[in-house]
Structure 1
Amino acid sequence: MYAVFKRELFSLLNSLMAYITIGVFLLACGLLLWFFPDTSILEYGYAELSSFFNLAPFLFLFLIPAITMRSFAEERREGTYILLATRPLTDWQIIMAKYLACFVLVLFALIPTLIYCYSVSKLALPAGNIDTGAIIGSYIGLLLLSAAFLAVGIFASSITKNQVVAFALAVFVCFIAYSGFDAMSQIFGFRAIENILLNLSVNEHYQSMGRGVLDTRDLIYFLTFVLAFLGLTKLVIGGRKW
């Protein structure tokens, strides 16, 4: 499994697409948080990073599918997955190796954003007077959110040979999971099941962690979400191998 993980990670790091997507993500974050007046922290007047944590999920809607779209789709298109499937590896080992490689790449994209915490702490009056608990909780929520989106992206890549189709499908499913259930809960006809729809929403659990409170229900939700889509991926590639 480690050999597949290392191969997949090096493949991602050697691809221009990974650097472009990470660069676009960091550039968009920088422009939205420090230059554009409507979303700038400097115009907000408070030393907090809530604007970053509200914008990051929507940027992840495109960043993460761009990273995962080649995971299985490219292997199938080039025919190299046959060689991988014939090695003494289980389907779960192949899936987890690709999943963890993509997760490490997302970590590389998030690490530079820690400079925002330092900058905001220096801008606070007095310096360092920021809500550290909320920031830590928000970062944990953002990691769990990225883990959920990665599971969706891996699944989307496993069902098609076309990377563009995999990207579009992952963006659509991630958007529905993040914002779709919230929107449906506001529809008058669905008011009777509003609580059920909100409990299914990724955004609801993400915002809950952003308040600095780590609830086991949120952790169980994200773990179940990830396992569900990785399980679907296992069914897809297992059925194709059979």
Structure 2
Amino acid sequence: MTYASTGQRSAENRVSPIFLAMAGIFLASGLALATGWGNDRLGVFLFVVAGWMVSLCLHEYAHARTALAGGDITVGTKGYLTLNPLKYGHVVLSFVLPVVFVIMGGIGLPGGAVYIERDRVSGRLKHSLISAAGPLVNVAFGVVTLLLVGRGWFDNPDVPSTVGELEYGISPLPAALAFLAYLQVTAAILNLLPVPGLDGYGIVEPWLSYKVRRAIAPYAPYGMLLLFALVWQSQVGEWLQEGTLRIFDLFGVDPVYPALGDHLFRFWK
């Protein structure tokens, strides 16, 4: 029984080959961009999509790992600790829609979270921490990428970005990193808003009265789509962009970098 239990726990924590493949694409495309090998636009697309998918897996993993520490021992048997995107609550909500949002609007918006058995977790603070763990991954990812770009570690005048016959004075890798950072920052900002269905609401929900939570519950499935519509079709989108670029300024990153990264990313245009 001891060996079986140990083997089961090992399998529950084994990193998924799917995640390793995504991480491999992320690193390989980054190396190609750094060395000027291949098509810049395709390379930026692969780098950003793979990096975004990796961050989404880590986002959901953080929820699950914090829930495990809080008392929900079922997250392991559900496969949430393997970083396998196919094991998370809803593949379409958690991964397909966020990638579609990136392609359509150039914003980062994490989708549905893992299914946590909240009755196994005691204490309002633990519930709040479980919800906060995911967005904190986006914050950390954003800070690291902004530091890399802001310090100019990947600027290489010998490897300029090229689109057709046009040549830009910025290397493709820092441009791609800046656009990926833009996605991470927007994801953190949006997901920390107290909108039903998003992690920001999950942070404050345990502190609300039962009556308020019951009244809001029917609207939770539509919160993410409503927020995307507001960002896409209203002044909210401009406010989000302005706030994000102010954060970029704090790290000394010129707005030209994410703009070029976005331009290169849309290779189909």
* TM-score normalized with structure 2 length: 0.33
Structure of higher RCO (CA pairs closer than 8 Å, 6+ residues apart): 1
* TM-score normalized with structure 1 length: 0.36
Identify, as 1 or 2, the structure richer in helix. Answer: 1
